[in-house]
Structure formats: structure tokens, C-alpha cells
Structure 1
């Protein structure tokens, strides 16, 4: 094709954009259903022909037998983790003409049941369950177990469920390996409450990365507290105002802790990253870019997790069976707080 905007295989989104209509309208036109003006239908078909678009057999079978809607049930009232997942999920499903209904249960079982009943009443084809933490929760009670359900950034206490999660252990390994790679040997770990599975997995990754480099966890260097900037400042006070060897690096369990820690280090006249390098977790722009210096952090690739959820759900709606826990790789984003060239 000569059009540089479409260098890859055209999707229904491309067709809709070319025809100047919504994805839903393009889907109706291409599948010859719904009430559309003849002019609109012909414009969509012409756009599809220009782009070389061919609907795949999966999409066609879905349109013949399904409502083309899925539900999203979230307990993340702030949207910090859910929104990037849902945004990418919606984009992926829209490529197949599937729309979503989103409900926020805010950790209220009664409200969750009410939302679930409403979603089931809309005859959704599948359900995504997500939240603000990844610890196990009771499975959603779907009558008959015939509808596909996927837990994303959430886990069901059910071996038959499919759960998609970031690789907390691997992300922690990356963070500590990076700090070791820039020459740091006394690496402290400041993190959140041990009741979170993520805290346990990240601590394990921290210890294993140290061990692989021939280092050991120094007594007193593992600090657990709250997911807050205040705890980051408090932990730095405990680590740097006492006696004994001082850390030359901090691996923090989230970016809020890391930002509080860097503020506390700066107040003590301790240079970051010159004297102490700092790496956080989550890669939350609100924290990482506003910190002084900007924070290196582990990105959980939430958008990629959302797209994977869309792919898995499409396949399961078509009849594929999946279960178990899939962990998606995390990525290290290096910024000034652990960049050796800034020392």
C-alpha cells in the first residue's frame, strides 16, 4: 500500500478511521447487520477494499453468535493500576468490534455482586476482573461457569482460573542487578506491608539477585512499612541516622516510597545517585518524573498486560480453554536517580 499510515495488516480500526465512522459502525457494515444508511455501508466497504482489509474467521464467528460486549469488574477505585490495563484492553477488543461495560466495586462484596448481576443481564460474552492489588481473592461466581473470566492484576483462589500478573520477582531481580551493575554492594530494600504477595515476591527477587552476585542481605537493610512517601523518609532516617555501614543504594518497593526516600537523602545532604543510587517500582509518572532527581523504576508494563488480556479473552470466547497464572515481564526504566553518568 502507498499510504504510510497503514504499513502493517489493516485492522477494523483502520477501516473505521478511513471511512470516518466508529468501529461499531464499521463492524456492522462489514458484517452486513444493523440499520445503516446505504451510503455509510458502501463507504465502509470501499475503505476496507482500499486498505486490503479482510475480516478473519474468528471475528466473523464471534459476530454471528455473540453480543460483542464484555464486562470489566474493578476494585481499583483510584484507577492507578486498572486504567492503563483497561485502556489497552479496550483498544485490543475494539479491533474485533467488541465493546466493554466497566463497573467499580470498591472492595465491597455486595456492590460487586450487584454489578455482576447487571453485567450478566446484559448477556456479556466474557468478564475481566481487576483490582489495585494482586493477592488472591474469592473467585467471581458466574452461573454455569460457561462464560470466560480472566483475572488481570488480580488472582482468584481457584486453580481453574486464568490470572495475568506482572512478574514482581523478575522485576525486583532487574532492579537489584542494575544497582549491582553500577558498582553498588550495600543495597537496602525499603518496601510495603508483608501482607502483600508483591512484597514477598520482590523481597525474594532482591535476595536472589544479591546471592547471584555473591552478596548477602545485610541485617537491618530490609525495611517493611506503608506504601507512602512518609514511610520512605522514616526508613531513610532509620538506615542513615544510626550506626554501622551505610547503604550505597536503595531498592524501593514502590515509587512513593522511593520519592520519600530521595527527599530524605537530599535533606541530609546525601547525593543521589553519587553516594546513594535509588530505584523504585511501578514507574508511575506522577512520582518518577516529579522526584528530584527523577527516579529510575521498574515498569510493570500494564498496557501490555491489558492487550494480553484482550487476546486471551478473544481466544476463550471462541472456545479456547486456559487456566493458571501467567506472569508478564517487567522493564527497568533508568533515570537520573541511578544513572552512573550523573554521579
Structure 2
């Protein structure tokens, strides 16, 4: 205990006398107590006599000492900062998530440090070490795809961690993801409700979990609508406009042609729309098209403007902020949670439809 510190003669010392902002060392020296005792008194912690505590607080007031957030964090274990580690070097998915996350945390006076690991484990570990050195209160991990990844948790020494548009291969982790199956069901259900019977699906590489899940939703929606999955209408490949153009041309060289195309992303959809226009195939008159991502840069530039599935990334980012705040407060959260997507209708499916 520090109550044995010798008594001192109280002295008023103006803050300007220090040639700068007074420090906790100044408080301890003038109050004639140890720095540890001064810290306990200033942070309302430890076992101190009321006399000692009041003495330290009085000296702090007299010299104009104001504890900074970092100094306080050493005692309350809160720095009011969180870290973000992303592997999305393009920012297509990360930026909406981070914007909403920052806005949510700013409401609580919490700042954000963001680092880009670019799929480099060594760089990720370096960023994590630096963030831990800043005594962050929690960590958000995000990426450009939602496939499983090794958990960062063991490296974070029990720090609250939320994965958003990313998922840890760890049942104890919390992962927030868009509902890819549900999004595909929305897309194909929309097309079938328009009376389309022969719905093709052009998408990306099958090693992406999102591709497999969207195909699952595609097949489920066809079944619900009583439609057959036509052989050769499912075409996995690459995430590019070139792939959309190539497959659209191939599909329309067939005897049995689709009357609708559900695309795994908006880039593929734009490529398909370009190819159909060049072939003189009317969109949506002959073929309706629905994309996935609702990326304005692509969806609005497509001719006609593209109906697309919105993954509601800003809602995911805000929920990540809410979840992280709960975890920082001591609540344990875990599991994979998938959040609903939305259908944004434009002219590529309904011809002049709103959006």
C-alpha cells in the first residue's frame, strides 16, 4: 500500500511553470507520493486513504494536470480505439463496411486504425503487432471475399475480434456475412416471377464459397418455381466482363437459348449485356439480366441499367460496430451470421423499372 507516503507541505504551482503541460510525474512529485499512488488516485483505483486521494486530486487541479486518453487507458484497459485489418486491396467491399463501422464507433467516441495486409500473413502479423502496441480495444477483420481463413484470435491475446465479409475457421469466432443463398433466391425468384422460364447462371470461380452458395440459391429458386435446370446453363469461370461476353455469345449460339441470365457479379452482367447488344438481342425484351453486388459503377453504366442484388455492406459494417461494442463490454459472441441481401430493380429486367 502507498498510504505510508510521508506528509507534504501543499504548494500551489501554476501549470505555466512547467514550460508545457504538467505530467503525472509532476503531480506525484508535488504531492510527495509515488507515481503509482498518483495514478491510482487520478483513476479512482487502488486502496488509498481518502486523505491521500484528495491530496493528489487537489494538486492535479492546482497545477492544471489533465490525464490524456492513453494514460487513462493504462488503468481502465480502454484506449477508445479499434483496429481494422483488411485484405481488400481494391476496397470494393471494404470501403462501405468501414465507412459504416467508423460512423457507428464515432457515436461512442471511438477512433479507428486501418491496415491493409494484402493477403500477406507476415504483413498481417506485423500490422497486428503494431495495433496491439497501440492498446486497441478490439479488432475488425475484413476482406475482398468471404471465404474461411485462419483465425487471428490466437495472435490477439484474447482481444475482441469481429470478422465481417470474412470468416474465421474457428467456431468460437464471430463472422458477419451477406446471405449469398438468399440473394440468389431473390434474383432468380424475380426473374421467374417475370415469366422467364430458361434462366442461365454465369458466375465466377467455384473455389469461392460465394459462387457455390449462389449456385445453391439458383437451383433452389428454380425448383421452387417448378423450372428445370437446363444442362449447360450453369457456367462458372472468372469474375470479369470478358467472361460475361464470352459466355453470353456461347449461350446464344445454342439451339436452346436462355430468356434470362443471373450473373454472379455485376462485371459479368455488364459483359453479358454488351455481348447481347452487339448481337442484336434485346435486353430485357428477349433476355432479362440480374447481377450481384449492386456496384453503382457497374450497375448504372450498364446499358440498360442493371438490376442487381445488394449485399447491404453498410448495414453489415454498422452491425460489426454494434457487435464489437458488445464484446468490448464483456459479452461473448460467436458463430457465423448471414444477413439478408436486397433486390434493386432496374431496366435490365423490367424495361424502365425503377431503382
TM-score bucket (shorter structure): 0.7 to 0.9
Per the alignment, residue 317 of structure 1 pairs with 328
1:256 aligns with 2:278: no
How many residues are paired up? 281
Other structure's SS at 2:331 match: coil
TM-score of the superposed pair, with normalisation by structure 2 = 0.77
Taking the TM superposition and a 5 Å limit, the aligned residue runs for 1:104-115 are: 104-115=116-127
Taking the TM superposition and a 5 Å limit, the aligned residue runs for 1:160-309 are: 160-242=172-254, 244-309=255-320
Other structure's SS at 2:212 match: helix
Taking the TM superposition and a 5 Å limit, the aligned residue runs for 1:51-62 are: none
Quickly say closer, same or farther: Cα 1:104–1:144, change in 2 above 3 A. Answer: closer
Q: Distance in 2 between matches of 1:143 and 1:209?
A: 42
Other structure's SS at 2:175 match: strand
1:128 aligns with 2:143: no
**CA-CA distance at 1:289 after TM superposition:** 0.3
Q: Distance in 1 between matches of 2:290 and 2:227?
A: 18
Q: Distance in 2 between matches of 1:335 and 1:144?
A: 44
Asked if structure 1 preserves the Cα contact closer than 8 Å seen for 2:201 and 2:233, the reply is: yes
Offset from partner CA, 1:24-81 (integer Å, 9 cap, x none): xxxxxxxxxxx9xxxxxxxxxxxxxxxxxxxxxxxxx9x9551100000000001000
Q: Gapped runs of 5+ residues in structure 1?
A: 1-34, 36-60
Asked if structure 2 preserves the Cα contact closer than 8 Å seen for 1:135 and 1:196, the reply is: yes
TM-score of the superposed pair, with normalisation by structure 1 = 0.80
Asked if structure 1 preserves the Cα contact closer than 8 Å seen for 2:346 and 2:352, the reply is: no
Equivalent residue in structure 1 for 2:105, among 93, 103, 118: 93
Per the alignment, residue 15 of structure 1 pairs with none
**CA-CA distance at 1:164 after TM superposition:** 0.3
**CA-CA distance at 1:245 after TM superposition:** 1.3
Other structure's SS at 2:315 match: helix
Q: Distance in 2 between matches of 1:153 and 1:146?
A: 21
Offset from partner CA, 1:293-338 (integer Å, 9 cap, x none): 0000000000000000000000000000010001110000000000
CA-based RMSD of the aligned residues comes to 1.6
Offset from partner CA, 1:176-208 (integer Å, 9 cap, x none): 000001110100000000000000000000000
Offset from partner CA, 1:76-111 (integer Å, 9 cap, x none): 001000000000000000000010000000001110
Q: Distance in 1 between matches of 2:126 and 2:77?
A: 26
Asked if structure 2 preserves the Cα contact closer than 8 Å seen for 1:182 and 1:340, the reply is: no
Asked if structure 2 preserves the Cα contact closer than 8 Å seen for 1:175 and 1:332, the reply is: yes
Per the alignment, residue 327 of structure 1 pairs with 338
Offset from partner CA, 1:183-238 (integer Å, 9 cap, x none): 10100000000000000000000000000111121000000110000000011111
Per the alignment, residue 32 of structure 2 pairs with none
Quickly say closer, same or farther: Cα 1:183–1:107, change in 2 above 3 A. Answer: same
**CA-CA distance at 1:146 after TM superposition:** 2.1
Q: Gapped runs of 5+ residues in structure 2?
A: 1-59, 61-72
